[in-house]
């Protein structure tokens, strides 16, 4: 039973749990205290309480010094003022000091109007930078294919450290040097490309400024769209349609599938496709691979391989287990391979003139597309990857108002998808989709109830059993790389045994990806996106990947059998143990 105490905030008395901070109590009382470094994603278990920015300072009765609300525990009978002149001036000074060592190129900054420091300066009525002195100046790190690190815009909030070290357990980012020269970066301030960074993008997702951003590829897309000799096709991932609307003022969880297809056509793409088709093909391959491993004594457990950040994580952090993941490429890479072979042949286009653009909720997909093994005859399966945020920027740049567009369908023959493909966008979705197909292939019976609700939820680590008519499959699910680490260590140490495991690097799965619209610490947004994913599934007339007529036609006309020779050549890959840095 919780122990409650009474505190008075701005003359309002509230009763709250004893373990609360002043900030928690203020929220309970309906009183807003500005914050910057603080982050508390309760359901996703991501909490940052470094109290480094000093923006949330409050006055406590009978205490001489102001205190940071985010990190100060409450006591019974505590009397607090959040609106005293002294507290307000302290907050404004904290922001003015941050701005004194911050670039003022807001108009051309990638985070313009989406920068929390910028918003806070406006909220606190900061109209001049009063302090001047030495400014930090560091080179821009553009070494990687996925993330840009701009140390000049870092405010030392340490959110990225929390995401990287405590949530993802990658251990790439930490504080370096001391005093005014303190920075956050990899050990020895190595370029990002020389580290074991997975490019999951969770550091980007929580950064309040533009200190960490994705590599912007919007200019590349515009250039390709205006080359007369190029045939540019685009594909969009399942998680995009439940998040893009937020960038146009729609409520979190709004489904914009039809409007998304219409918008992409207006941008000038020659063909507009759905990565969900690639997800259905992935299930054909992955379910068959799992059955093959079960029947022929293959390596178990088999781990899903749709998430490139997770694949990079196991290559660097668990090199002795690189034979465990499925050899299936991720859905958008599979789609690219099919587009540049089957589709190109069908529509009479030279594959070398075809440009495949992927719109992804993920920053790591940028680095994945650049992997040399994911190509056919030196022609990359996917040429350009942009995030949900980048697509939103491009639509606004082109004057396309998503909300005003009529619904349109995706192009064919690679445009039809099933509900199983839709749920790829959330934690538990890939393995559930695989079970819908594996069940029917193993038992030879029709699966009447397609929803495996025991595989759903937001717990970081989940276990479930699926009954295949007498054969029980033990399933493991983890989202967030810290949870993945725990699960893999338990397997390695013999504490856990599974037949199949789904792992997604980002908390919540792709709906919480590093390239999605910023949620600014509101984990309810991620949950609403997840709920929308399941609504999309329920709205589909076909909900099993192996019943997709266009997928059936693809195998009949071109690929042959799932997990067969040609399918293996085009749609499967291999992983390599890599040095951890």
Annotated catalytic, 368? Answer: yes
**Rounded (10°) angle between helices 116-123 and 85-100:** 140
**Which is the catalytic residue, given 259, 365, 527, 528?**
365
Output the pLDDT for position 152.
Answer: 96
Output the pLDDT for position 380.
Answer: 93
What's the DSSP call for residue 457? S
CA distances from 243 to 104, 122, 358 (A): 30, 27, 16
Annotated catalytic, 440? Answer: no
Compute the radius of gyration of the chain from its Cα atoms.
25
**Which is the catalytic residue, given 37, 154, 306, 506?**
306
Residue in the structure block whose two tokens are 């699960």: 487
C-alpha to C-alpha distance for 367 and 364, rounded to whole angstroms: 5
What DSSP line would sit under 86-147, residue for residue? Answer: HHHHHHHHHHHHHHHTS---GGG-TTTTT-HHHHHHHHTT--S------------B--SSSE
Sequence-separated (6 or more) residues with CB below 8 Å from residue 303: 314, 324, 325, 326, 500, 501, 502, 503
Residue in the structure block whose two tokens are 């890959």: 573
Annotated catalytic, 157? Answer: no
Output the pLDDT for position 30.
Answer: 95
* Pair of tokens at residue 269: 């793409």
Alpha carbons within 13 angstroms on the beta-carbon side of residue 377 total 5
- The answer to whether 238 touches 536, Cβ cutoff 8 Å, is yes
**Which is the catalytic residue, given 116, 214, 246, 286?**
286
- The answer to whether 328 touches 285, Cβ cutoff 8 Å, is yes
| Region 4-98: CATH code | 3.10.20.740
What region, left, alpha or beta, does residue 445 occupy, with left being phi > 0 and alpha being psi -120 to 50 degrees?
beta
Output the pLDDT for position 376.
Answer: 78
Burial of 161 (0-12, 13-18, 19+ CB in 10 A): buried
Collapse the DSSP code of 251 into the 3-class scheme (helix H, G, I; strand E, B; otherwise coil) and give the result: coil
Q: What is the pLDDT of residues 483-516, one digit of tens each?
A: 999 999 999 998 889 999 999 999 999 999 999 9
Annotated catalytic, 326? Answer: yes
- The answer to whether 141 touches 193, Cβ cutoff 8 Å, is no
Output the pLDDT for position 372.
Answer: 86
What's the DSSP call for residue 522? -
ω before 413 within 30° of 0 (cis)? Answer: yes
Collapse the DSSP code of 362 into the 3-class scheme (helix H, G, I; strand E, B; otherwise coil) and give the result: coil
Q: What is the pLDDT of residues 15-29, one digit of tens each?
A: 999 999 999 999 999
Exposure b/e, 411-439, CB count within 10 A at least 16 = b: bebbbbbbbbbbbbbbbbbbbbbbbbbbb
Question: How far, rounded to the nearest angstrom, does the alpha carbon of residue 382 sit from its chain's CA centroid?
Answer: 19
**Which is the catalytic residue, given 161, 285, 289, 502?**
289
Sequence-separated (6 or more) residues with CB below 8 Å from residue 543: 418, 419, 420, 436, 450, 537
**Which is the catalytic residue, given 276, 368, 390, 536?**
368
Output the pLDDT for position 203.
Answer: 96
**Rounded (10°) angle between helices 388-397 and 218-225:** 50
> CATH topology for 219-571?
Rossmann fold (3.40.50)
Domain boundaries, the chain: 4-98, 136-215, 219-571
**Which is the catalytic residue, given 170, 207, 510, 528?**
510
**Which is the catalytic residue, given 52, 254, 326, 545?**
326
Question: How far, rounded to the nearest angstrom, does the alpha carbon of residue 223 sit from its chain's CA centroid?
Answer: 27
Q: How much is the pTM? A: 0.94
CATH architecture assignment, domain 136-215: 2-Layer Sandwich (3.30)
- The answer to whether 233 touches 359, Cβ cutoff 8 Å, is no
**Which is the catalytic residue, given 194, 223, 345, 373?**
373
Residues of the chain scoring pLDDT < 70: 1, 42-44
């Amino acid at each position: 039973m919780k122990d409650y105490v009474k505190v008075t905030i701005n003359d309002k008395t509230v009763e709250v749990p004893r373990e609360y901070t002043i900030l928690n109590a203020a929220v309970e009382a309906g009183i807003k205290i500005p914050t910057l470094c603080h982050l508390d994603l309760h359901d996703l278990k991501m909490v940052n309480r470094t109290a480094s920015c000093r923006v949330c300072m409050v006055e406590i009765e009978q205490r001489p010094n102001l205190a940071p609300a985010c990190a100060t525990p409450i006591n019974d009978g505590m009397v607090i003022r959040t609106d005293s002149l002294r507290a307000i001036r302290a907050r404004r000074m904290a922001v003015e000091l941050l701005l004194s060592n911050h670039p003022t190129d807001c108009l051309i900054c990638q985070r313009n109007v989406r920068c929390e420091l910028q918003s806070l300066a406006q909220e606190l009525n900061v109209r001049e930078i009063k302090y001047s002195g030495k400014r930090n100046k560091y080179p821009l790190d553009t070494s990687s294919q996925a993330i840009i690190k701009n140390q000049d815009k870092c405010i030392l909030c340490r959110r990225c450290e929390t995401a990287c070290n405590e949530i993802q357990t990658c251990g790439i980012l930490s504080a370096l040097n001391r005093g005014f020269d303190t920075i956050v970066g990899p050990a020895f301030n190595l370029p990002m490309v020389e580290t074991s960074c997975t490019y999951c993008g969770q550091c980007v997702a929580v950064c309040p400024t533009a200190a960490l951003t994705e590599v912007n590829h919007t200019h590349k897309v515009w250039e390709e769209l205006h080359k007369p000799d190029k045939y540019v096709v685009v594909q969009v991932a399942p998680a995009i349609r439940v998040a893009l609307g937020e960038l146009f003022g729609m409520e979190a969880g709004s489904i914009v599938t039809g409007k998304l297809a219409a918008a992409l056509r207006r941008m000038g793409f020659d063909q507009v496709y759905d990565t969900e088709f690639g997800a259905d093909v992935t299930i054909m391959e992955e379910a068959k691979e799992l059955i093959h491993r079960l029947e022929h004594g293959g390596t178990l457990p088999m781990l899903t391989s749709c998430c490139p950040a997770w694949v990079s994580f196991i290559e660097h952090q668990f090199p002795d287990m690189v034979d465990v993941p499925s050899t299936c490429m991720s859905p958008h890479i599979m789609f690219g391979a099919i587009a540049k072979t089957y589709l190109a042949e069908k529509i009479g286009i030279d594959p070398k003139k075809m440009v495949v653009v992927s719109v992804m909720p993920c920053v790591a997909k940028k680095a994945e597309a650049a992997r040399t093994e994911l190509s056919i005859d030196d022609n990359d399966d996917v040429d350009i990857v942009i995030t949900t945020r980048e697509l939103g920027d491009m639509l606004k740049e082109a004057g396309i108002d998503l909300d005003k567009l009529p619904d349109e369908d995706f192009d064919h023959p690679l445009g039809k998808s099933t509900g199983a493909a839709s749920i790829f966008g959330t934690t538990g979705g890939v393995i559930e989709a695989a079970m819908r197909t594996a069940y029917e292939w193993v038992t030879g019976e029709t699966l009447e109830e397609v929803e495996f609700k025991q595989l759903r939820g937001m717990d970081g680590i989940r276990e479930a059993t699926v009954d295949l008519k007498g054969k029980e499959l033990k399933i493991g699910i983890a989202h967030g790389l810290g949870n993945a680490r725990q699960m893999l260590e338990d397997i390695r140490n013999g504490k856990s045994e599974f037949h199949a495991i789904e792992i997604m690097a980002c908390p919540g799965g792709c709906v919480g990806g590093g390239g999605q619209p910023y949620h600014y610490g509101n984990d309810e947004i991620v949950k609403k996106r997840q709920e929308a994913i399941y609504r999309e599934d329920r709205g589909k007339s076909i909900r099993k990947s192996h019943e997709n007529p266009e997928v059936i036609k693809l195998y009949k006309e071109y690929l042959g059998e799932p997990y067969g020779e040609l399918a293996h050549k085009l749609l499967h890959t291999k992983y390599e143990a890599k040095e951890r840095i």
